[in-house]
Every structure is written in structure tokens, then in C-alpha cells.
Amino acid sequence: MMKAKPTNRPFKNLAWVLSVWFLFLHSGCGLLNPDSFMTENGYYTRHYNSCAPEAIQDAMEELEDKIITTKSISTEIQDNGNFCRVFLATTIHHNILWVTFPEELKKYFTKRGYKIIETDLKSLKPDDVAIALIKGRIIHGEWHWITYPTYSKEDIKNFYNQKGLDTNTSIMSVYKIKKEAAN
């Protein structure tokens, strides 16, 4: 006759308690900042005036001498989905709602017939248009999209120092934007 295996009921309860505790600790501060998640017609308003829509606006003005509102740029970016932005905002930090990922930036320009070429700041010529992703102190969330030639190479390299912050600016990525050749 087989003996019934004892159940590890205390361990199941412990696993459940640890799971809830883990989720609580890793829920980010989004739960404590509901105003960060304000929407207008389904779009997160914090993203409207974040640095990527501003950098795209500067680039479009350089490329086409056309002014496009940061709100329309942001809504188009958000039309492609907000899952990652919202997930990270609720699990890590509510300011992630301001984030525009590199793929979203590239998609915006390729949709308009531009080619995106990853390069470095040194190789940019005066007639080039590029958007750079720079960072300062990670712990303070200092990441920023900035446009060349709207800002000079020196301004870009020293962005966080010029803000009176005691930190260096690191250039993470530089994307040169060129019009695709017509066939």
C-alpha cells in the first residue's frame, strides 16, 4: 500500500506571500503617482512635451522647414503602442511615460521617407541633421534626445554640465537622418 505524500502547505503559503511581497516591492512608484497616467483621448499627456517629440520637431524643422507640434508627434508615436512604456512605468518608475524608444524614433522618420544611419557625433558635417541620445546620471534618470545642428556638437557633449549639474554627458547613440533617394 502506498503512503500518501505529505503536502508542503506551509511552503505554498510562503511562496504566495513572497510573490505578493515581490510584486509590491517591484510595483514602481507609478501606483503612488496616478497623475502621471493622465490621458487625453487615450494618449499619455506626459509624453507630449518630452524630449523625443521636441527633438523630432527640431529635426523636422531642419529637414523640411516645417513646424509640427510635439503633441502630434507624440500621439503618432503612441499610436504604435504604449505597452512597454506603461509596463515599465508601473513596474520601475512613473517618469518612463516620457520615454521614446530608439525604434519608435526611427519608425517616425522612415515612415516619412528618411533613412536613419547610426553614426557618431564627430563624423557629422554642418549640413547633416541628426538626433542623439545622451545620458547623464542614471540614478537621476538623466537621459535626453537632442538634435544636431539645432544644438552644436559642444552643446551636446556638455549638455548636463551646462545645466549646472556635476556630471559628464555620455553620447549613447547618434542617428543621422537623410532623405531616401527617389527611384
pLDDT at res. 134: 93
CA 76 vs. chain centroid, Å, equals: 14
Contacts 24+ apart (CB under 8 A), 3-11: none
CB 147, CB 131: distance < 8 Å: yes
pLDDT at res. 115: 96
Half-sphere exposure of 91 (CA within 13 A, CB side): 8
pLDDT at res. 90: 54
pLDDT at res. 7: 54
CA 24 to CA 91: how far, in whole Å? 9
pLDDT at res. 30: 45
Mean pLDDT in consecutive groups of 10 residues from the start of the chain, 183 residues: 56 60 48 55 76 95 92 87 59 63 92 96 96 84 90 92 73 93 58
pLDDT at res. 100: 84
The answer to pTM > 0.75 is no
pLDDT at res. 86: 58
What is the full DSSP assignment across 108-122?
HHHTTTEEEEEE-GG
Helix (H) or strand (E) holding 177: strand 170-179
CA 16 to CA 19: how far, in whole Å? 5
pLDDT at res. 150: 96
**Sequence-separated (6 or more) residues with CB below 8 Å from residue 28:** 88, 89, 90, 91, 92, 93, 94
